[in-house]
């Protein structure tokens, strides 16, 4: 196979394979793809990589990293065909940005910790984009992000320009305030108001996560996984008794749930 032999470096070989797939006589599917059609592929591959990162299967992790890398190379190939840029241009632009935004590593700027690094990063970004007078400190948060991640990213960006609580107590007090307001909204029966206050409560909870160093998306996923695991155990126990869940009262199911929790905590 021309230009795809293993005497090339891994990245060079990947680019050569991609070019061959897109070339006349290559793969019909690959040749038909556009930046628009690749969007769902990128999302799917990113989520599959996240799943692999949660496990300890190194082969799977490597494979899923490769699938995400393929999406980058695929898009670069499309842009190169348009005469816009290629993978080398992307890599060089990234290197330039990393060097520019790390003056404490590649320059003589002194920092006293991660907080200052992030503040400097945001200031440098603002300088880079100063040609746009309407630029916001919140720019750059993708609209397609899952809600919890988007909330945490938005809050972090606001924090970098000083719009933040002094410590986690302020964030926790806000959770209490929003919970009270949600109770009042529920009592009012106003659906739109209830939705708004529930959103405010979730936003405040995510902000608390950020303050105490907890990733809100990871924490909720972990809790959802824990609930699913325990619920399945309850189902299994009920079926083993010759019943179905519809045959049991809530009190009976709760008792089994408590037993499942107790066994988990005892490491059974």
pLDDT value of position 58:
97
How many domains does one find in the chain? 3
User: 191 and 235: one domain?
Assistant: no
Task: Let me know if residue 113 belongs to a domain.
Answer: no
pLDDT exceeds cutoff 50 at 1: no
Task: Let me know if residue 93 belongs to a domain.
Answer: yes
User: 249 and 227: one domain?
Assistant: yes
Percent of the chain with pLDDT over 90: 76
Question: Residues 6 or more apart from 143 whose CB is under 8 A from it?
Answer: 150
The Cα 97–Cα 128 span in angstroms is 10
Kindly report the average pLDDT of the chain as a whole number. Answer: 92
Backbone angles phi, psi at 57, to 5 degrees: -85, 100
User: 83 and 43: one domain?
Assistant: yes
User: 26 and 76: one domain?
Assistant: yes
pLDDT exceeds cutoff 90 at 227: yes
Decide which of 199, 214, 229 is a domain's last residue. 214
The Cα 35–Cα 29 span in angstroms is 13
User: 83 and 30: one domain?
Assistant: yes
Task: Let me know if residue 49 belongs to a domain.
Answer: yes
The Cα 116–Cα 114 span in angstroms is 5
pLDDT exceeds cutoff 50 at 267: yes
Residues across the chain: 268
User: 195 and 224: one domain?
Assistant: no
Q: What angle do CA 171, 174, 176 make, to 5 degrees?
A: 120
User: 17 and 86: one domain?
Assistant: yes
Decide which of 172, 199, 214 is a domain's last residue. 214
pLDDT band of 118, cuts 50, 70, 90 = confident
pLDDT band of 154, cuts 50, 70, 90 = very high
pLDDT exceeds cutoff 80 at 132: no
Note down the domain range covering 166.
Answer: 136-214
Task: Give the CATH number, domain containing residue 23.
Answer: 1.10.287.1080
The Cα 130–Cα 254 span in angstroms is 58
Task: Let me know if residue 166 belongs to a domain.
Answer: yes
pLDDT value of position 53:
93
Task: Let me know if residue 238 belongs to a domain.
Answer: yes
Q: Which position has the higher pLDDT, 191 or 130?
A: 191
At 69-110, the pLDDT tens digits run 999 999 999 999 999 999 999 999 999 999 999 999 999 999
Task: Let me know if residue 199 belongs to a domain.
Answer: yes
User: 175 and 250: one domain?
Assistant: no
């Amino acid at each position: 196979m021309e230009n795809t032999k293993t005497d090339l470096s891994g990245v060079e070989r990947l680019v050569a394979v991609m070019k061959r797939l897109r070339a006349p006589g290559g793969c019909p599917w690959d040749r038909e793809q556009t930046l628009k059609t690749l969007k769902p592929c990128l999302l799917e591959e990113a989520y599959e990589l996240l799943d692999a990162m949660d496990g300890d299967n190194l082969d799977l992790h490597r494979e899923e990293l490769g699938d995400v890398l393929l999406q980058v190379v695929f898009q670069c190939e499309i842009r190169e065909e348009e005469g816009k840029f290629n993978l080398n241009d992307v890599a060089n632009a990234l290197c330039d940005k990393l060097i520019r935004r790390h003056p404490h590593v590649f320059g003589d700027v002194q920092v006293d910790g991660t907080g200052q690094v992030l503040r400097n990063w945001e200031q440098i970004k603002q300088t880079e984009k100063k040609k746009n007078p309407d630029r916001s400190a919140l720019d750059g948060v993708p609209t397609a992000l899952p809600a919890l991640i988007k909330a945490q990213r938005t809050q972090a960006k606001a924090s970098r320009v000083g719009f933040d609580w002094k410590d986690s107590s302020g964030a926790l007090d806000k959770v209490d305030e929003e919970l009270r307001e949600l109770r009042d909204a529920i009592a009012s029966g106003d659906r739109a108001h209830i939705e708004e206050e529930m959103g405010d409560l979730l936003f405040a909870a995510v902000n608390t996560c950020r303050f105490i160093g907890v990733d809100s998306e990871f924490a909720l996923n972990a809790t959802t996984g824990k609930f699913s695991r325990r619920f399945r155990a309850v189902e299994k126990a009920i079926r083993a008794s010759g019943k179905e869940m519809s045959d049991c009262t809530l009190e009976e199911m709760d008792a089994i749930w408590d037993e499942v929790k107790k066994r988990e905590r005892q490491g059974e």
